[in-house]
Amino acid sequence: MAQTQSSWRPAPQHESLGPLTGLRDFIDRLAASSPARLALLSFTGVILLFTLLLALPFSSATGRVTPLHEALFTATSAVCVTGLTVVSTATHWSGFGQVVILIGIQLGGLGILTLASILSLAVSRRLGVRGKLIAREAMNNAGRLGEVGGLLRIVVATSAAVEAVLALFLTPAFMAHGEDFGQALWHGIFYSISSFNNAGFTPHSDGVVPYQYDLWVLVPLMLGGFVGSLGFPVLMVFLRFRARVRLWSLHAKLTVVVSIILLLVGAFLWGAMEWDNVRTIGNMPPSEKMVQAVFASVMTRSLGFNLVDMNHLEPSTMLLSDALMFAGGGSASTAGGIKVTTVAVMFLAIVAEARGDRDVRAYGRTIPEGTMRVAISVIVAAATLVMVACGLLLAISGQSLDRVLFDSISAFATVGLSTGLTSELPPEGVYILTALMFFGRVGTITMATALALRQRSTLYHYPEERPIIG
């Protein structure tokens, strides 16, 4: 008699996963329908998680529960790689709390979705179309879809390599200042991650002020912050084409050129305005003044370490710092601001209009009109956010406009420089700056992506009529 085969079959693997399958399907649907919304939800979820961790008693040095507004502000500042603080990083937080902040900086600098895509790539050895869409969204639509896997590998390799090199230089420098090896190594790692990710957090109670004459500390911090501010797409172009500039993408060319211009012009103007200010650099020798000016120019672009008291700057220097902070760094980088390519596109549009050119051109390429509309939208949205925040903070704090504007732009541009206003604000003011940091990090990116991807076809075209401008 022939044996009958059993009708039992193992259940499909996804059926045994239960809630995990439902969560995965939800993420897949959300990634396919709205990657920008997924980015917002991911950042929000991670910030809430780190808020809970920092609110725990053993996260503080005293063993007490940290108030919600302080924990939320610190978590947001870390994940959004800002560097603004309402409590001292060195004295308020325990070793565990500082590790939590450092992990938040690394997660925020790489990008939550970027890290998720990297983990997926490491586990499955490949990224599906949806995974690539998620990763591309995380990197502000940088590169072609087929290049996403390579870009992710470059993100990991570059971050690890740069941070390791910075730590190797900084650790002996801190040992030379009297720290033991373990403490110097921890500080070297902390500063390397903080500088490359343009965070500006410092584990020292006096920040980097005690090292203002030590180039072995200042130069690595400046280089780490500047490299991080260029953005991973630019670093990928460097690694692929190196010095063959003619093969660089338009994005890489604009980012590098505008970044260098802002660095040099910012250093020259900052040094000139503060040259005779005895409250900042007026009593220093000329060589030290130039170093301080270059350092300040790099820091105001997004990094956020300071060697002088921001309240002692000349009013003109504070205005210059506001402008440099608002410009920020490169797209898909660890820096904030409206991004240097946005500045470049608007400047090129103004030049083209002044010349009477129909097209906006740069390096043998024509910039699409849609890109200019996105740039205008980002600038207007950013200025509106800062203006609304300033109005609210002025009403809450009663402080002068220059201090409120400085800290507001610093929060929005995720810089981390402060006049001290941030730590003086009541809880409601802290919440306003928290929201400003969040929207400054993910809001304009999300809006730019949504505008760039949203194209509505119409079956008719209204007659053109030019309104009077100016």
pLDDT score for 243:
79
CA angle (37 as vertex; 392, 439 as ends), nearest 5: 25
Cβ atoms of 412 and 436 closer than 8 Å? yes
Q: Contact, 78 vs 199, CB < 8 A? A: yes
Residue ranges in the chain whose pLDDT is less than 50: 1-17, 23, 113, 116-127, 129-131, 133-134, 137-138, 140-141, 145-146
Is 194:162 a contact under the CB 8 Å cutoff? no
Please tell me the chain's helix, strand, coil percentages from 3-state DSSP, rounded to the nearest 5. 70, 0, 30
Query: What is the model's pLDDT at position 449?
Result: 56
Question: Please, which residues bridge with residue 362 across strands?
Answer: 365
pLDDT at site 69:
94
Q: Residue 316: enclosing H or E segment and its boundaries?
A: helix 315-327
For 110-116, the CB contacts below 8 A with 24+ separation are 110/155, 110/159, 110/197, 111/138, 111/139, 112/39, 112/42, 112/43, 112/46, 112/79, 112/138, 113/35, 113/38, 113/39, 113/42, 113/137, 113/138, 114/138, 114/139, 114/152, 114/155, 116/42
Quote the pLDDT of residue 103: 93
**How far apart are the two ends of the chain, measured CA to CA in Å?**
96
Give, in degrees to the nearest 5, the angle at Cα 461 between 455 and 464: 115
CB atoms under 10 Å from CB of 402, counted, come to: 16
- Length of the chain (residues): 470
In whole angstroms, what is the distance from residue 403 CA to residue 418 CA?
A: 8
Residues ≥6 apart with Cβ < 8 Å to 267:
290, 293, 294, 296, 297
Q: What is the pLDDT of residues 425-467, one digit of tens each?
A: 999 999 999 999 998 888 665 655 555 555 556 677 788 887 8
Q: How many CB atoms lie within 10 A of CB 339?
A: 29
